[in-house]
Amino acid sequence: MTTTSSFPAAVRRAVPGGVPRGRGLVLRGLVLLAAASFFPTAVWAQGAEVSGFGGAATLNGGGGTHPVFGGSGGVQLADHLHIFFEVNHLHLLNVSTVDASGNPTTVGAGLTNFGGGVDYSFGSPGSKVRPYVLTSVGDGRIGASAEGVSAGVNSFYVGVGGGARVYLGKHWGIKPEVRVQHYVATVLGETGTYTGVYFTGGVFLELGQ
C-alpha cells in the first residue's frame, strides 16, 4: 500500500518498531563502484570541485524547518557539465523529557543523505556568475533513538534544483542553491512519500584547473 505522510510519522514508527530491511548500503556501494570505474585519469584532469555548505530544509506534512549542513565533491566532464557526490545531515529532533518513572530521557532524530547527481551550468567559462540546474539521486537515512532504543529507515530520493557559482576569485567562490527532494520509504510494510525543500549556501573550490 502506498500512502503520503509526514517525516515525524515515519520517525515515530521507526522507534521502537525495529529496523526495517533497507537497501541503503547496497546503493552506496554501487555509487562508489560506479565512481571508481567511470572516472579515468583523463576525466579527473578536466578539473575537480569540493564544497561545504549549510542552510535549512523544510519538510512537508508538518515536518517543520530544520538546519542542514554537508559537503560535496565532483569533477568537470565538460565546460558546462559537472558530476558530483555529496553527503549532508538534517537535524530533525532533540528533546529531553522525563519518563513515567521520573527518569530523564532524550528523544533524537536526524536525516542523513548520501547521493550524487549532475549539474549543467550556463554562461561562458570565465564568467563571474554561472547559474546552473541539477538533478540528484540517493539514499536518505532517517535515524531515531528514544529510551536507549535506536532504529533507522532507508528512503530512496530524487531531487531537482538550481543555483549559481559566484566567483570571488579565479577558482573559488560562493554557491547559493535551492533544491526539492522527493523521498520514498517503506516503514513496517507501509510505503510513504515525503518531500523536502532545501535552501543552502556554501563555499566551493576548484582544483586542477
The domain in which residue 142 lies consists of 2-36+53-95+112-207
Residue 101 lies in a domain: no
pLDDT given for residue 38 in this prediction: 42
User: What is the 8-class DSSP label of residue 79?
Assistant: T
Within a domain: 203:
yes
pLDDT tens for residues 82-132?
A: 999 999 999 887 666 666 667 776 777 889 999 999 999 998 888 999 999
**Average pLDDT for the chain:** 79
- The three three-digit cell numbers of residue 178, written as one number: 535551492
What's at 176, amino acid-wise?
Answer: P
Residue 33's alpha-carbon distances to 26, 37, 38, in angstroms, are 11, 6, 8
pTM: 0.73
Looking at the 3D structure of the chain, how many domains does it have? 1
68: in domain: yes
| Integer CA distances (angstroms), 84 to 72, 125, 164, 167, in order | 7, 19, 15, 19
CATH number of residue 157's parent domain: 2.40.160.20
Residues 6+ apart with CB under 8 A from 75: 39, 43, 44, 46, 47, 48, 49, 82, 83, 84
Report the alpha-carbon distance of residue 124 to residue 9 in Å, rounded: 46
Which residues neighbour 90 within 8 Å (Cβ) at sequence distance 6 or greater?
57, 66, 67, 68, 110, 111, 112, 113, 196
Weakest-pLDDT range from 29-43, 53-67, 89-103: 29-43
Model confidence band, residue 36 (pLDDT cutoffs 50, 70, 90): very low
